[in-house]
């Protein structure tokens, strides 16, 4: 069943005077963050095809946006794998369910759209979850970049495929560096334990 197209995030928030925004630099380009005093509502790629512009009477900055910027900096530096931020995305019940499942994808891992559809409870809903992911208003933190095509190809990302590729490669690199070394006994060392790099581990 086709999903009814929702209004853009900027339209749903038009005229609200309790929203604040900031634009931050990142390795994937500028990001727009939008929040009220209690919840982050938007993380939008400013250089992708789904750019959202700040609207009057939005105000610049608040403590939650400062914290979001700090955690994003740690994420991009490879020092944070989970975000601790209050979120309030706006969408249909199906979209909200699909976005909740996105938050279950482990850092550095990927699902296919088919896998996400199974997690949502409808294995035939691959296209529907793809459409829902395309409407995800809080990119990166709700990690729609971790969903790929069934053939392993990178498809469908509002921030652009180069940004999606960069995010996945960065997370995979951090995971590789975090893997422990295996310890084995080296012959002729009188039982001393010696750390060895094992093929396939590091």
Contact (Cβ atoms closer than 8 angstroms) between residue 50 and residue 29: no
Reported pTM: 0.81
C-alpha span between 44 and 10 (Å, rounded): 10
Q: Which residues pair with residue 22 across a beta bridge?
A: 33
pLDDT, tens digit, 9 for 90 and up, residues 6-58: 444 555 555 577 899 999 999 999 999 999 999 999 999 998 778 899 998 89
In a domain, 195, yes or no: no
Is the domain of 63 the same as that of 102?
no
- Candidate list 40, 102, 138, 144, residue with the active-site label: 144
Contact (Cβ atoms closer than 8 angstroms) between residue 147 and residue 116: yes
pLDDT, tens digit, 9 for 90 and up, residues 77-107: 999 999 999 999 999 999 999 999 999 999 9
Q: Which domain holds residue 107?
A: 93-178
CATH number at residue 126: 1.10.10.10
| Average pLDDT of span 135-150 | 96
CATH number at residue 18: 3.30.160.70
C-alpha span between 97 and 115 (Å, rounded): 14
Q: What angle do CA 159, 112, 83 make, to 5 degrees?
A: 55
Is the domain of 71 the same as that of 103?
no
pLDDT, tens digit, 9 for 90 and up, residues 148-170: 998 888 988 889 999 999 999 99
Domain tally for the chain? 2
Active site residue 144: yes
In a domain, 191, yes or no: no
């Amino acid at each position: 069943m086709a999903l009814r197209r929702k209004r853009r995030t900027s339209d749903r928030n038009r005229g609200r005077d309790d929203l604040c925004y900031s634009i931050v630099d990142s390795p994937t380009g500028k990001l727009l963050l939008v929040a009220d005093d209690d919840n982050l509502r938007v993380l939008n790629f400013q250089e992708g095809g789904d750019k959202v512009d700040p609207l009057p009477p939005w105000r610049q900055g608040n403590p939650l946006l400062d914290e979001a910027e700090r955690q994003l900096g740690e994420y991009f530096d490879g020092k944070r794998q989970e975000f601790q931020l209050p979120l309030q995305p706006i969408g249909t019940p199906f979209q909200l369910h699909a976005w909740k499942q996105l938050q279950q994808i482990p850092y550095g891992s990927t699902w296919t759209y088919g896998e996400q559809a199974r997690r949502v409870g409808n294995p035939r809903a691959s296209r529907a979850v793809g459409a829902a992911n395309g409407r995800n208003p809080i990119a990166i933190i709700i990690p729609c970049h971790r969903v790929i095509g069934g053939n392993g190809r990178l498809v469908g990302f509002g921030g652009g495929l180069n940004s999606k590729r960069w995010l996945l490669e960065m997370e995979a690199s951090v995971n590789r560096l975090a893997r422990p070394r295996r310890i084995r006994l080296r012959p002729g060392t009188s039982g001393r334990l010696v750390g060895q790099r094992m093929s396939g581990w590091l």
